[in-house]
Copies of this chain bind each other. A is one copy, B any other.
């Protein structure tokens, strides 16, 4: 799994100047008042100035995780197509030992614990053999002449896909609010953490203000 930087527009100063247009002002360099303004905007949930900075990333993740990611309708996506392209040497998600978990408790009131250590190797082998069987069936269907767009139905949700994702800073912060939450799927939390590192690097004062205000959605 990977989240790679592709491109971005703007900086903390873009946020400031989008807000200052309300007062017909403009800042050339980021000063203490500007940082105070970013905090004010975050506290008062004045979200629109955060929409004039953008970030594009390239994500490599299992289809099951991508399906959660794509629920964020304010993002723009382009994805690898199992309809158009040949699957070369696909990668599959075999949970590493520290991610292998079991669900404890009833629906609505459960938590996760590590799978007992002695069960991990067998579980990981089961993932691997299931993936291999699915890939074999896929190739057999292709060999029979079945179109790719049909044969792909036997491919598993654990197969990796790749996609571009573009959103503005406001929407990335909202994505992080939801997807770094402790209730989020662990695998998407790991990816969100990589987005978060990019946001911290590119927009440090916005990021700091967002932390101070409890990582809330705006």
Contacts and interface: CB of A to CB of B under 8 A. Distances in A.
A213 interface: no
Interface stretch (A163-171, A190-198, A204-212): A163-171
A157 B158 contact: no
A27 interface: no
Contacts of A52: 6-7, 56, 76, 78, 164, 166
Contact of A23 (B81, B133, B155): B81
A185 interface: yes
How many copies of this kind of chain does the complex include? 4
Contact of A158 (B64, B144, B153, B185): B153
Contact of A18 (B74, B78, B83): B78
Indicate the size class of the contact surface on chain A: 35 or more
From DSSP, what is the main secondary structure of chain A's interface residues?
mixed
A217 to B, nearest CB: 7
A129 B137 contact: yes
A147 B7 contact: no
A35 interface: no
A154 interface: yes
Interface string A53-77: 0101010001110010011011011
Contact of A166 (B51, B70, B115, B185): B51
Closest 3 CB pairs between A and B?
A: A153-B158, A51-B76, A9-B9
